[in-house]
Homo-oligomer: A and B are copies of this chain.
Amino acid sequence: MPSTASVQLRNDRRRALSNQPHPLRRLDPLAVVLSCHRNQEICSEGRPADHWYCVVSGVARRCATKCDGRRQILGLLLPGDFFGFTAHEEYDFAVEAIVEGMTIASYPRRRVEALADVEPELAREIREVAFETVSQLQAQLLILGRITATEKVASFLLAMAARSSADQSDKVLLPVSRYDIADCLTVSVETVSRSLTDLKHRGLISLLGTRTVRIVDREGLAEARLNCH
């Protein structure tokens, strides 16, 4: 039997969910909203994939740990992004919270699928969300396919700018460390740092704080993505 405090907490979280616009409002009644600690593993590679998730607030990373101990981040998950989809019975990859106190909505997969069987509209929305994941993965593939490290970093900045801020501000808040960016782009931390100072010296960006980038020359930055030496 839940205490008054925990019920209050749950209500707060439910409210947080309804404030945040997200693609599957239809599923709100089934959602359980969870708060996560920094570096907490939300779902683990190889574990039964019995839940789907949606980021409500904060940022998470989908990561693969290679046998040599290195980590690759397959993609960052921002508010509104779904994860936990898999073609198999187990999760393909782990997802870890990056921001302390980030919140996620958790949906029991079987119940959602049962609901989708009787609500074609929901089934369509789930397809949309899955297709959105496909698009994001393809975009990430394009970034990794760039030639120079500076191109990758420039792409990363523009992608973050496009995804994170609904407003057309030229300020981009990087919610992750240089290490996370490095693992995202599969380059070394030092190279990320050097690329950022490179872009700064070329007058394309300026660093307000270490994690706040101001895009000075958006055009130039977009060109820098594509092989500008």
A interface with B by C-beta (< 8 Å): 64, 66-68, 70, 72, 74-75, 85-88, 92-93, 113, 116-118, 120, 123-124, 126-128, 130-135, 137-138, 140-142, 144-145, 147, 186, 226-227
Assuming the contacts A141-B74, A141-B141, asked whether A127 and B126 have C-beta atoms less than 8 A apart, the reply is yes
What are the residues of chain B within 8 A of A226 when measuring CB–CB?
A: 66-68
How many copies of this chain?
A: 2
B142 touching A144, Cβ below 8 Å = no
B227 touching A138, Cβ below 8 Å = no
A135 touching B68, Cβ below 8 Å = no
Q: Top 7 nearest A-B pairs by Cβ distance? A: A117-B120, A137-B137, A87-B131, A68-B227, A72-B145, A130-B130, A87-B132
Which of A137, A142, A227 has the most C-beta atoms of chain B within 10 angstroms of its own C-beta? A137
